[in-house]
């Protein structure tokens, strides 16, 4: 397995765990109070920060334990990486447009922040899944 494929798997796992933890904390607090009135900023920042730290640590571990021949990136690896990132960028744009729309209709900050965060989460997941599919099923640039 190429190092880039391992990195894509790491990104999927870290993203799902971090966003799942964030949702658990925020939704776990909701009782009779509306969801938009719940404190969310600290949980969001902690989950993003923990995801960044975990991703870096796991990338270092994978780099240390991977054999030397798997660390070389060839043209195919670079093209798969670029392909996956281009696919994932669509959800960043969708999240930004949705956040802008929510700001224009004067939605609560909670919803704006969460739709942008969801855009980033979906972007990371889609990009990583595209990379894994390219490695597993073959990559044929157009």
For the chain, the maximum distance between any two Cα atoms, rounded to a whole number of angstroms, is 57
The overall average pLDDT reported for the chain is 88
Per-residue pLDDT at 71: 64
Residue 77 in tokens: 């690896």
**43: Cβ–Cβ under 8 A, 6 or more apart, which residues?**
22, 25, 26
Q: Nearest-CA neighbor of 26 among 11, 50, 46, 54?
A: 46
Domain segments of the chain: what residues?
3-137
pLDDT over 80 (residue 99):
yes
The answer to whether 42 and 13 are in contact (CB under 8 A) is no
Q: For residue range 40-93, what is the model confidence (pLDDT) as tens digits?
A: 899 999 999 999 999 999 988 988 887 765 666 778 888 888 888 888 899 999
Per-residue pLDDT at 141: 63
Identify the three-state secondary structure at position 54: helix
In this structure, what DSSP letter does residue 68 have? G
Per-residue pLDDT at 16: 97
Identify the three-state secondary structure at position 94: helix
């Amino acid at each position: 397995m190429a190092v880039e494929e391992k990195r894509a798997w790491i990104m999927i796992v870290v993203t799902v765990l971090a966003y799942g933890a964030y949702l658990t904390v925020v939704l776990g607090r909701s009782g009779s109070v509306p969801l938009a009135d719940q404190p969310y900023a600290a949980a969001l920042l902690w989950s993003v920060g923990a995801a960044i730290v975990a991703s870096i640590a796991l990338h270092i571990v994978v780099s240390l334990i991977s054999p030397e021949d798997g660390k070389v990136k060839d043209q195919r690896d670079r093209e798969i990486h670029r392909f996956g990132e281009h696919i994932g960028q669509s959800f960043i744009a969708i999240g930004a447009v949705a956040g802008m729309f929510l700001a224009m209709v004067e939605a609560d900050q909670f919803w704006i922040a969460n739709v942008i965060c969801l855009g980033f989460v979906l972007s990371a997941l889609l990009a990583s899944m595209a990379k894994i599919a390219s490695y597993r099923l073959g990559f044929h640039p157009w």
